[in-house]
Amino acid sequence: MKNKIKQIIEMYKISGYHKQFIILFIIIVGSAILDIKIIPYITRQMIDVDIPQQNINGLIIFGCIYIIFLIISCYLTLKHCNMRSILERKIQKDLREKVFNKMQSIKTKFYDENDIGVILQFLQGDVNDAGKMFADVVTEMVFMGIIRFTIYAIFLMFVDLKITLAILVLYIVGYLVTIYFNKKTINLINKIRQVNIEIYSKVNEGVQGFLTIKILNIIQKKEKELKELLDEYETTNNKLERTIAIYNNLFAFIVSLSTVIIIFFAGLKVINGFMAYVEIMLLIEFSGSLDFEFKWFIKHLTDFNKSFISFSKILRFLKLDDIENIDGGENLEQINCIEFSNVYFSYTNNEKNIKNFSFTLKQNEKLALVGRTGSGKTTIINLLCRFYEPAKGKIKINGKDYKKYSISQLRKKIGYVMQDTYIIDGTILDNIKYVNSAITDEKIQNIFKKLKLHEKIIKLKDGYNTNISINPDILSTGEKQMINFARVMAVNCDVIILDEVTSALSYEAEILVNNAIKEVTKGKIVIIIAHRLSTIKNCDKILLMKEGKIIEEGNHSELINKQGEYYELVNS
């Protein structure tokens, strides 16, 4: 319990907006006092005093006061609801921003260990539920439920202390029953959350891989898998609702006995002349209000569990210290030489993915990494970009351990051109300025002239201001690749990585891309991952990889003359 309270306090600190919560608390307490004490008092004053005494002036005065306080009460209720909604949205926005920023700085290992479903659950479901915790759930439970319950209980005690204590014992028993069932609801909520993660993953898998799913003719299989998850989600939710219904009804039965207690014990007092009928009516009225406020508290208990679980997950994630310090380290002016020295690496502790890997690459040299799928080519690039770091051996930049340099500086010097082109929402200019906001329109046009795409762009209706995200068919696959090359040229990197850039291109597109390769690699350190002979045959050095090791190395002619595995790969 102490640990849970500590967590709630920590969550409250992270949520922020503490002054607004204090104002909200004052508004709700003020509204409660008006509704529970002042407005009923004015009503009783008019009914019990002014009407029997035929005091018209008193009726007018108290009637006006009643209307004024009623307007104030309505305004406070409106203000409370408005503030609660605004705070909820602000907290959700802040939490989503914190989670997203953390995801940008956390090490790549996190993405290896968690699929897209977990990430989407964090950014969507968990943030939404956590954002409601203080602005909505706690406000309703504590401010609206507990505080008003306490006020009613205090008023009841002034009417009859012993009967009030007897009634409160019933509420304690009812609450203990609720706590017992509450443990079951927490387990069910956790299960629902896990199933929801799997649903997110399946939906994402269906969207991202819809062409593969169609080609493999496994649409019905995927539909069945999703249906099973949706059925499980529905079944678990139904179990949760049944559990909630059971403890709500049990609680309602237990606390309804308070009416019997009031009628029996208060009735005895009336018979014996120790209590008036009016006091019995007050006890019943306030007891009904107690019932309403505590049921209000219980009603939000499940919402609190959801919010608490989601906030706990977010809190645990935000506390992860496995983050990249991208700005720490020495400044890197230029990359003139890259050296891998006896590098070993493993994604897991069970198997080495890279074994005793060594090579040196200097300015204006081209290196090709060749090998079948799973040989470790992409892992070498990941190590160079410091998405991961070697388990053993060293990677040196300009003769110095690359860990001494700032990660941010290192990555700014590396231009990575991939097979797939990432198009942001915006124009052609926006897609280049995305990586270099200071570049001029004229320089962008000069880049596309070198890439042989300028003439095509200026013939478009809006030219360089054409929105290519909403017009995806304006450019061919090869032409879209030019966006990748243009981005690299816009930041003038020292190292260029080309990852399967000519794969699955037509003959015309390959000519366009090969011209782009010539332009972007002039005077640079170049690393190429490719299978096509046209892309790698002019490289200064070719490393043939197999199971994370270099099994052959040399230039194209040397490796062909060996007639080893490279020769077989080229001629296969």
- 133 secondary structure, DSSP code: I
Q: What dotted CATH number matches 337-571?
A: 3.40.50.300
Separation between Cα atoms, residue 270 and residue 268, nearest integer Å = 5
Contact (Cβ atoms closer than 8 angstroms) between residue 21 and residue 134 = yes
Of the candidates 340, 335, 395, the residue with the CA atom closest to the CA atom of residue 545: 340
User: Strand 392-397 to strand 414-418: parallel, antiparallel, or no bridges (unpaired)?
Assistant: unpaired
- The overall longest dimension of the chain from CA atoms, in Å, is 120
Question: What pairs with residue 553 in β-bridges?
Answer: 543
Distance (Å, whole) CA 569 – CA 390: 29
Give phi and psi for 538, each to the nearest 5: -95, 10
- pLDDT of residue 394 exceeding 90, the answer is yes
Of the pLDDT bands very low, low, confident and very high (cuts 50, 70, 90), residue 117 is confident
pLDDT digits (tens, 9 = 90+) for 83-102: 888 888 898 899 888 888 88
Residue 258 has pLDDT above 90, yes or no: no
Residue type present at position 512: L
Residue-range domain boundaries for the chain: 96-318, 337-571
- 43/73 Cα distance (integer angstroms): 15
Alpha-carbon span 428 to 468, nearest angstrom? 6
User: Has residue 504 got a pLDDT over 70?
Assistant: no
List of E strands, 454-540: 495-499, 525-529
| Residues composing the chain | 572
Q: What are the pLDDT digits (tens) for 27-48?
A: 888 887 887 778 777 877 787 7
**DSSP designation for 405:** B
Cα angle 511-517-523, degrees, rounded to a multiple of 5: 145
- Crossing angle for the helix pair 277-299 and 301-318, nearest 10 degrees? 40
Tell me what the pLDDT averaged over the chain comes to.
Answer: 84
Determine the Cα–Cα distance for residues 244 and 35; give it in Å rounded to an integer. Answer: 29
Spatial neighbors of 526 by CB under 8 A, at least 6 apart, are: 365, 366, 367, 495, 496, 497, 498, 539
Show the CA angle centred on residue 474, arms to residues 472 and 479, nearest 5°.
95
Is residue 281 scored above 80 in pLDDT? no
Q: How would residue 235 be classed by pLDDT, with cut points 50, 70 and 90?
A: very high
Sign of CA pseudo-dihedral 135, 137, 138, 140: positive
The CA distances from residue 250 to 159, 175, 176, 524, in Å, are 28, 10, 11, 75
**pLDDT confidence bin for 525, thresholds 50/70/90:** very high
- Report which of 149, 401, 365, 347 is spatially closest to residue 255, judged by C-alpha positions: 149
Q: Give the C-alpha separation, 376 to 360, whole Å.
A: 17
The SS3 assignment for 500 reads coil
Determine contact, residues 4/122, Cβ cutoff 8 Å. no
Look at residue 526 in the predicted model and tell me its pLDDT: 92
pLDDT of residue 342: 94
Backbone angles phi, psi at 497, to 5 degrees: -110, 125
Q: Which residue has the higher pLDDT, 473 or 401?
A: 401
- Residue 80 CB-density burial (10 A; 0-12 exposed, 13-18 middle, 19+ buried): buried
Tell whether the model's pLDDT for residue 57 goes beyond 70.
yes
CB 130 within 8 A of CB 14: no
One-letter amino acid at 227 equals K
Instruction: Please work out, in degrees rounded to the nearest 5, the angle formed at the alpha carbon of residue 81 by the alpha carbons of 78 and 85.
Output: 140
- Of 507, 429, 502, give the one whose Cα is nearest residue 467: 429
- Kindly tell me the sign of the dihedral angle through the C-alpha atoms of 406, 409, 335, 337: positive
Contact 263, 166 (CB under 8 A): no
Residue 341 is predicted with a pLDDT of: 93
Q: Which amino acid is at 545?
A: M
Q: What is the pLDDT of residues 529-571, one digit of tens each?
A: 876 666 788 889 999 998 889 999 999 999 999 988 888 888 8
State the residue for tokens 């990494």.
369
pLDDT higher than 70, residue 507: no
**What 3-state DSSP class applies to 524?**
coil
Does the domain formed by 96-318 have CATH 1.20.1560.10? yes
pLDDT band at 143 (very low <50, low <70, confident <90, very high): low
Radius of gyration, CA atoms only, the chain: 35
335 alpha-carbon distance from chain centroid: 36
510: pLDDT confidence band, cut at 50, 70 and 90?
confident
Task: Tell me which of 368 and 32 has the higher pLDDT.
Answer: 368
